Every structure is written in structure tokens, then in C-alpha cells.
């Protein structure tokens, strides 16, 4: 039963990836290898790079930066969203700040981050947080606004503490909303951090990708991109998906 359920859940993504691989194969037959190598050539180069070991080091740096940016965004976004639920005036004060943060492109935050923090892991993490935190904050604030007022009135009547309300009323109500926001935040942090690493860090997958381009190593560029995609899928399906399905099962049982 569980195997059948797992297959039904994994079959659509697998079909989508198979279709993408087919399109890549067909396109590579029509274009020079210097522009689009075949999937087999790229896979072979990826195996070689992984065997050399350097790509594992860059992967560890990127994963550290991404997860740090993700968890900072999750923590900051949830706390700010809960604060808006407690003090609505805070939401009105934060609205223009969020608009400014979202209006500024990635490259603007990257330039500022390098000016403030210099070259290293700081700029990629800051860029990741600047892009991901607003998503979590807005999802949390919206979820708070949808909490049943009757439950809040009962909590007030029974003099429940603030933390009791957060733990037993707000967080269960926000569970599915937050898993969706977390998925989006992780995706945004992943892309933003790798982009920032290319121009502001001396290590990481972004720097590896940019270095391959500068040296004209096209197979290395595509192999690194393939590895980035595979790691991104692993993060989504191994970190976010299990949490989402566990929450969905728990809510169904309740």
C-alpha cells in the first residue's frame, strides 16, 4: 500500500524529468557540442568532477549557505508574521519595507552585500535572506489573519498565555501555509545564493559554475548545472516534501 502510494506520488515528477531529458537529447542532436552537449557527455563529466572531489567541497559550502539563509528566513518571517498578528500596526509599518526589499533586484542586494560584508559567504547568505524572508513573512501574516476569531475569543476568556495561543492555535492553523511558504523560500534561497556565489564568493557551486564559463569549459558548466538541479530536487523532496505529507496526514486524522 505504501509502495503504491509512493509510486503514485513520484510518477508525475519522474515523467516530467523524463520528458525534459528527451527534449534535451533531441536538441543536442541539432546543435554543436560547444553550445549544447548531449546528456550523456554531461553526465560523464559530472561523474568525473564528483570523483575529483572539488565539487563535493563546493556543494558543502553552498548547502551551508542555502540552509543558513533558509532557516534565518523561516525564523525571521514567522516571528514577524506572528508579531503582525499581535500588533496590526506593525504590519502597516512593515508593508513599505517589504515592498522596497522585493522591488530591489538580486544584483542590487548583491552589490550592497559585497560593500557591507566583503567577499565570502556573507553576501550569498544576505541575498538569500533578502529574497526568501518576505515570502515567509507574508504567508505567515496572511495565515494569522485567517485564524478563527472564535478560537481567539475563547483563548481570551480562558486566559490562555501568549505562548499557549501561539502553540495550540496559530501554529496548527499555519502548518500547511508555512510548508508551502517554506518550499518557495527554499527554492528562492537556493537560486539566489548560487547566483550570489558566482560574483561574491571564492567557493561554492555558483563560483564553480562561473569559473567553468570563464575558462570555456562548457562540459563543466553543464555538469555543474545538472548537479545544482539534482541537489535542488533532493532538498525539495527529502526536506520539504516529507514534512508536508506528515502534516497533511496529521490534519486528516484530526
Would you kindly state where each structural domain of the chain is located, as residue ranges? 38-253
Burial of 111 from C-beta contacts in 10 A (0-12 / 13-18 / 19+) = middle
pLDDT > 60? residue 254: no
pTM for this prediction: 0.83
For residues 172 and 178, what is the distance between their CA atoms, to the nearest angstrom? Answer: 10
143 C-beta neighbours (distance < 10 Å), count: 23
pLDDT at 127 over 90: yes
Q: What is the mean pLDDT of residues 141-147?
A: 78
Tell me the CA end-to-end span of the chain in Å, nearest whole number: 22
Averaged pLDDT for residues 65-77: 95
Domain 38-253: give its CATH code. Answer: 1.10.3720.10
The per-residue pLDDT for 88 is 82
What is the average pLDDT across 224-252?
81
Q: How much is the mean pLDDT over the chain?
A: 86
* C-alpha neighbours within 13 Å on the C-beta side of residue 195: 18
Nearest to 56 by CA among 203, 202, 210: 203
At residue 1 the predicted structure's pLDDT band, cuts being 50, 70 and 90, is very low
Beta strand ranges found along the chain (DSSP E): none
Residues 6+ apart with CB under 8 A from 17: none
Model pLDDT, residue 250:
65
Cα–Cα distance list, 115 to 49, 74, 138, 208, 216 (Å): 33, 25, 28, 22, 29
Does residue 201 register a pLDDT over 70? yes
* Cα–Cα dist 237/10, whole Å: 10
Q: pLDDT tens digits for 94-103?
A: 889 888 888 8
pLDDT in tens, 23-52: 999 999 898 988 999 999 999 999 999 999
What average pLDDT does this structure show over 182-208?
93
Are 144 and 85 a contacting pair, CB within 8 Å? yes
Which grid cell is 115?
A: 560593500
Amino acid at each position: 500500500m505504501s509502495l503504491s502510494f509512493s509510486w503514485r506520488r513520484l510518477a508525475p515528477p519522474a515523467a516530467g524529468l523524463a520528458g525534459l531529458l528527451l527534449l534535451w537529447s533531441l536538441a543536442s542532436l541539432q546543435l554543436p557540442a560547444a553550445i549544447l552537449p548531449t546528456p550523456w557527455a554531461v553526465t560523464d563529466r559530472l561523474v568525473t568532477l564528483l570523483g575529483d572531489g572539488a565539487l563535493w567541497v563546493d556543494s558543502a559550502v553552498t548547502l551551508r549557505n542555502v540552509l543558513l539563509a533558509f532557516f534565518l528566513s523561516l525564523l525571521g518571517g514567522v516571528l514577524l508574521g506572528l508579531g503582525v498578528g499581535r500588533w496590526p500596526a506593525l504590519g502597516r509599518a512593515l508593508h513599505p519595507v517589504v515592498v522596497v526589499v522585493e522591488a530591489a533586484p538580486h544584483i542590487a542586494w548583491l552589490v550592497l552585500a559585497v560593500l557591507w560584508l566583503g567577499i565570502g559567504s556573507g553576501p550569498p547568505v544576505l541575498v538569500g535572506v533578502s529574497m526568501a524572508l518576505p515570502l515567509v513573512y507574508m504567508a505567515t501574516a496572511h495565515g494569522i489573519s485567517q485564524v478563527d476569531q472564535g478560537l481567539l475569543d475563547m483563548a481570551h476568556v480562558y486566559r490562555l498565555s501568549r505562548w499557549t495561543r501561539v502553540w495550540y492555535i496559530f501554529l496548527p492553523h499555519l502548518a500547511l501555509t508555512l510548508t508551502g511558504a517554506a518550499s518557495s523560500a527554499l527554492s528562492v534561497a537556493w537560486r539566489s545564493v548560487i547566483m550570489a556565489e558566482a560574483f561574491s564568493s571564492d567557493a561554492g557551486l555558483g563560483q564553480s559554475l562561473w569559473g567553468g564559463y570563464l575558462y570555456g569549459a562548457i562540459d563543466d558548466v553543464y555538469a555543474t548545472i545538472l548537479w545544482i538541479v539534482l541537489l535542488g530536487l533532493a532538498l525539495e523532496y527529502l526536506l520539504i516534501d516529507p514534512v508536508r505529507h506528515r502534516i497533511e496526514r496529521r490534519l486528516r486524522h484530526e
